[in-house]
């Protein structure tokens, strides 16, 4: 004699004894049909195990790595793998994986992500993570970096057809990328009559003449002005030297 199907069925040669129902079954086909259809106990067809209660079956399905159950669906379907389950939860239930809540519409999930998880105000993508939670500055940075993907890429370099959102990225590509050279960019910059020496020191570093922060590359100075929320943003204002340089570079390139 041996125990099968989770220990609640005894196997005696080719006969089976259901201990929960106190019944004999003449072969494996009959005991399997009994386990699948009886209302006296529960059955997991994937693992071929008998469970005494519905609660113990649900606990097994939740804990087992074999199962990928959607507990929000009435029929509680079991998906083939975790990726398929996650796609189902996202598409059909608008599921928040941080809060473990479901929402009636994608718009409600997006609004939740924006208010609760530092979400993108354009697409609602959440940026809450174990790493980002440690730093509000990092959360802000991740969101700002993502938002740039929604901005129009109207800066196109004609020789490689690459397009850019920010002019600092455009300059960076020409400084270190395969399409240009740092010396050529700086030669063009030095042609501006309005005083590049105010932004280029004796140590061959670019610097902001407002906050005096130094940069190894001209693109770093552009990025600094683009990201600034203080007076340094005036470098790219209507009368700013970087605005004049930007117009000159775009015309020359």
pLDDT digits (tens, 9 = 90+) for 158-173: 667 677 878 888 888 8
* Predicted TM-score (pTM) of this structure: 0.43
Decide if 102 contacts 93 (C-beta within 8 A).
Answer: yes
Decide if 235 contacts 208 (C-beta within 8 A).
Answer: yes
Tokens of 209: 């003449």
Is 202 contained in some domain? yes
Choosing from 99, 118, 149, the residue where a domain stops is: 149
Choosing from 11, 31, 63, the residue where a domain stops is: 63
159 and 145 in a common domain: no
97 and 49 in a common domain: no
Q: Identify the sign of the CA torsion 57, 59, 62, 66.
A: negative
124 and 188 in a common domain: no
For residues 106 and 25, what is the distance between their CA atoms, to the nearest angstrom? 51
127 and 173 in a common domain: no
234 and 165 in a common domain: yes
Is 87 contained in some domain? yes
Q: How many CB atoms lie within 10 A of CB 249?
A: 20
pLDDT of residue 137: 47
Is 220 contained in some domain? yes
86 and 18 in a common domain: no
For residues 107 and 122, what is the distance between their CA atoms, to the nearest angstrom? 11
144 membership: H or E segment, kind and range: helix 136-147
95 and 47 in a common domain: no
Nearest to 245 by CA among 184, 190, 207: 190
- 3-state class of 19 per DSSP? coil
For residues 163 and 191, what is the distance between their CA atoms, to the nearest angstrom? 25
Q: Low-confidence residues of the chain, pLDDT below 70?
A: 118, 121-159, 161, 177-183, 193-197
pLDDT of residue 151: 60
Q: What's the domain range around 121?
A: 82-149
**CB crowding 120-143: b at 16 or more within 10 Å, else e:** beeebbbbbeeebeeeeeebeebb
Output the CA torsion 122→123→129→131 (10° steps).
-50
166 and 133 in a common domain: no
Choosing from 11, 33, 63, the residue where a domain stops is: 63
Is 109 contained in some domain? yes
246 and 186 in a common domain: yes
Tokens of 89: 């939860």
Q: How many CB atoms lie within 10 A of CB 185?
A: 21
Tokens of 193: 């009559």
Domain count, the chain: 3
113 and 135 in a common domain: yes
Q: Tokens 């924006």 correspond to what residue? A: 114
Nearest to 118 by CA among 78, 150, 76, 146: 146
pLDDT of residue 143: 55
Q: List C-alpha distances in Å: 191 to 92, 186, 187, 217, 248.
A: 59, 9, 7, 17, 9
Is 223 contained in some domain? yes
102 and 133 in a common domain: yes
């Amino acid at each position: 004699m041996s125990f099968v199907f989770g220990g609640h069925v005894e196997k005696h040669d080719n006969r089976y004894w259901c201990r929960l129902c106190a019944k004999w079954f003449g072969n494996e086909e009959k005991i399997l049909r009994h386990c699948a259809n009886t209302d006296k106990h529960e059955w997991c067809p994937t693992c071929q195990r008998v469970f005494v209660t519905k609660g113990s079956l649900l606990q097994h399905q939740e804990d087992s790595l074999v199962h990928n159950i959607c507990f929000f669906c009435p029929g509680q379907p079991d998906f083939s793998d975790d990726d398929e389950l996650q796609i189902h939860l996202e598409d059909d239930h608008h599921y928040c994986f941080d809060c473990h809540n479901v929402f009636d519409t994608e718009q409600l999930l997006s609004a939740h992500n924006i208010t609760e998880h530092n979400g993108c105000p354009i697409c609602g993508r959440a940026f809450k993570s174990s790493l980002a939670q440690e730093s509000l500055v990092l959360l802000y940075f991740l969101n700002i970096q993502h938002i740039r993907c929604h901005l129009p890429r109207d800066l196109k370099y004609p020789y490689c057809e690459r397009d850019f959102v920010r002019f600092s990225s455009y300059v960076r590509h020409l400084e270190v990328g395969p399409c240009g050279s740092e010396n050529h960019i700086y030669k063009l910059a030095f042609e501006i009559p309005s005083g590049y020496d105010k932004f280029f020191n004796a140590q061959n570093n670019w610097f902001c003449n407002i906050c005096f922060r130094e940069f190894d590359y001209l693109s770093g100075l552009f990025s600094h002005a683009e990201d600034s929320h203080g007076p340094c943003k005036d470098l790219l204002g209507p009368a700013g030297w970087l605005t004049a340089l930007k117009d000159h570079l775009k015309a020359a390139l």
